[in-house]
């Protein structure tokens, strides 16, 4: 009986995550429009886009291979699994111990790997452009991510997200290394989700686009899946930051339904707050030149390394 209940909670988390992702994206676009004194599309617009795209007929390039057609499903699946494993409203879910923080970062790496390959498959220069730049940013963002994971793991004594959240809940108190890790995680999140300083999600300008260039040739249901995966990825990073650095309101596993409700509400609030802060940051800064981004990410790597080093030196930092 308990197993079924746990499975149900885990299923609920997976569906919740899937549902909230487009909402988060819609909300950020709405807030951004508001800040630019524009009306902006309704918050539910992303859902309508996905529904429209899914029903359209898929147009494939002549020399697109089977990899091009399977990639979107793989990318969506990997991102969805990563999102499902991060505790949103409750810790210690049924399958949460099957992958720790490093595995989640690697899952996102898997999604990015196939996205880059898909970009190269059609054989146009834009696909190559996008993949090459994406892999450049990835080769700096991933080590930074690993360094952040090290810092958090050394502080919390475990790489399991549930244990980390539990530790963060119980041990309050500011630590220098955690502060550095937070800044680094924010930088990595911005770079991974192709937000403003690194890449403009709204633009279609060939010279500057990175994420868009890879998905140029996709259409209908494949494009829908990739858009959904991108939204999920944004949600992954938001919930990651929330889970590690703002774990208040997370319910214990096997708690009363009311605890779950409080947890869900807290999670929704955190998402909206995160979205709002992101948009405020985006509108206040211009896009960076492509070859300034490596220094930007290099800073994140250095911060992560510094944080880990401090922790190695003495546990008190």
Partner 1 sequence: MAVAAELWGVAGLLAIAVGAIAAQRLSVGSRLVYLSCLLVSVAILVVACDTFLFGVGAPKRLVLPIGLPWIGAHFAIDSLAAFFLVVVNLGGATTSLFALGFGQHEEAPGRVLPFYAAFLASMNLVVIAADAFTFLFSWELMSLTSWALVMAHHHDPDNRAAGYVYILMASFGTLALLLAFGLLAGPAGAYAFTDMREAAHADWLPGLVLVLALLGAGSKAGVVPLHAWLPLAHPAAPSHVSALLSGVMTKVAVYGFVRIVFDLLGVPQWWWGMLVLVLGGITAVLGVLYALMQHDLKRLLAYHTVENIGIIFIGLGLALAFQANAMSWAAALALTAALFHVLNHSIFKSLLFFGSGAVLNTTGERDMEHLGGLIHRMPQTAFVFLVGCVAISALPPLNGFVSEWLTFQAILLSPDLPQWGLKFAVPAVGALLALSAALAATCFVKAFGVSFLGRPRSLAAERAHETDRWSLTAMFALAALCLIAGILPGLFIDALAPAVTVVVGAHMPVQGSLPWLSIVPIAESRSSYNGLLVFAFIAGSASLAAYVIHKVATGALRRAPPWDCGYPDLSPATQYTASSFAQPIRRVFGDVVFRARETVTMPLPGDPTPARLQVTLRDLVWDVLYVPIGSGVGFAADKLNYLQFLTVRRYLSFVFVALVALLLVVAIWP
| Residues 253-282, interacting with partner 1 (CB under 8 A) | none
Using CB under 8 A as the binding rule, whether residue 199 contacts partner 1 is answered as no
Of 136-144, 171-179, 187-195, 257-265, which part binds partner 1 (CB under 8 A)?
A: 136-144
Using CB under 8 A as the binding rule, whether residue 309 contacts partner 1 is answered as yes
Of 19-27, 149-157, 173-181, 271-279, which part binds partner 1 (CB under 8 A)?
A: 149-157
Q: Which is nearer to partner 1, 141 or 240 (CB)?
A: 141
Give dist(CA 40, CA 33) in Å, integer: 5
Give dist(CA 145, CA 212) in Å, integer: 23
CB of 240 to partner 1, least distance (A): 16
- Asked if 112 contacts 82 with a C-beta cutoff of 8 angstroms, the reply is no
Q: Pick the binder of partner 1 from 116, 184, 250, 266 (CB under 8 A).
A: 116
Selection from 302, 305, 301, 235 nearest residue 270 by Cα:
235
Using CB under 8 A as the binding rule, whether residue 238 contacts partner 1 is answered as no
Give dist(CA 169, CA 163) in Å, integer: 10
Using CB under 8 A as the binding rule, whether residue 63 contacts partner 1 is answered as yes
Q: Pick the binder of partner 1 from 140, 178, 231, 250 (CB under 8 A).
A: 140
Q: Which is nearer to partner 1, 9 or 140 (CB)?
A: 140
Give dist(CA 230, CA 156) in Å, integer: 29
Using CB under 8 A as the binding rule, whether residue 202 contacts partner 1 is answered as no
Residue with tokens 């409750």: 90
Task: Supply angle C-alpha 183, 185, 190, rounded to 5.
Answer: 100
Using CB under 8 A as the binding rule, whether residue 207 contacts partner 1 is answered as no
First-to-last alpha carbon distance for the chain, in angstroms, is: 45
Using CB under 8 A as the binding rule, whether residue 315 contacts partner 1 is answered as yes
Between helix 220-245 and helix 176-192 the angle, nearest 10°, is: 170
Show contacts of 28-31: CB within 8 Å, 24+ apart: 28/234, 28/275, 28/278, 28/279, 31/275, 31/276, 31/279
Q: Can you read off the two tokens belonging to residue 104?
A: 């989640």
Using CB under 8 A as the binding rule, whether residue 221 contacts partner 1 is answered as yes
Q: Pick the binder of partner 1 from 7, 8, 59, 285 (CB under 8 A).
A: 59
Residues in contact with partner 1, counted by CB under 8 A, come to a total of: 87
Selection from 183, 174, 211 nearest residue 290 by Cα:
211
Q: Which is nearer to partner 1, 31 or 232 (CB)?
A: 232
Q: Of 155-184, which residues contact partner 1 (CB under 8 A)?
A: 157-160, 163
Q: Which is nearer to partner 1, 100 or 227 (CB)?
A: 100
Q: Pick the binder of partner 1 from 47, 126, 276, 296 (CB under 8 A).
A: 126
């Amino acid at each position: 009986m308990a197993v079924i209940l746990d499975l149900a909670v885990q299923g609920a988390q997976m569906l919740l995550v899937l549902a909230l992702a487009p909402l988060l994206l819609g909300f950020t676009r709405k807030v951004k429009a508001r800040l630019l004194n524009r009306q902006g599309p309704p918050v539910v617009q992303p859902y309508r886009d996905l529904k429209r795209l899914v029903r359209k007929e898929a147009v494939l390039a002549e020399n697109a291979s089977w990899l091009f057609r399977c990639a979107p499903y793989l990318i969506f699946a990997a991102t969805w699994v990563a999102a499902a494993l991060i505790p949103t409203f409750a810790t210690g879910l049924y399958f949460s111990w099957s992958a720790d923080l490093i595995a989640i970062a690697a899952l996102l790496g898997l999604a990015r790997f196939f996205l880059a390959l898909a970009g190269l498959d059609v054989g146009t220069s834009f696909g190559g452009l996008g993949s090459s730049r994406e892999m450049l940013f990835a080769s700096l963002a991933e080590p930074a991510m690993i360094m952040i994971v090290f810092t958090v793991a050394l502080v919390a004594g475990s790489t399991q997200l549930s244990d980390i959240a539990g530790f963060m809940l119980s041990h309050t108190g500011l630590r220098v290394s955690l502060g550095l890790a937070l800044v680094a995680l924010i930088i990595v999140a911005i770079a991974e989700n192709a937000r403003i300083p690194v890449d403009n999600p709204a633009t279609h300008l060939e010279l500057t686009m990175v994420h868009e260039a890879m998905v140029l040739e996709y259409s209908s249901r494949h494009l829908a899946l990739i858009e959904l995966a991108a939204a999920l990825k944004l949600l992954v990073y938001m919930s990651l930051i929330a889970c590690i650095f703002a774990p208040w309101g997370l319910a214990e596993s096997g708690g009363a339904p009311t605890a779950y409700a409080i947890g869900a509400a807290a999670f929704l609030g955190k998402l909206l707050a995160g979205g709002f802060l992101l948009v405020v940051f985006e509108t206040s800064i211009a896009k960076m030149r492509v070859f300034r981004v490596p220094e930007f990410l290099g800073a994140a790597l250095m911060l992560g390394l510094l944080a880990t080093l401090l922790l190695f030196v003495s546990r008190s930092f």
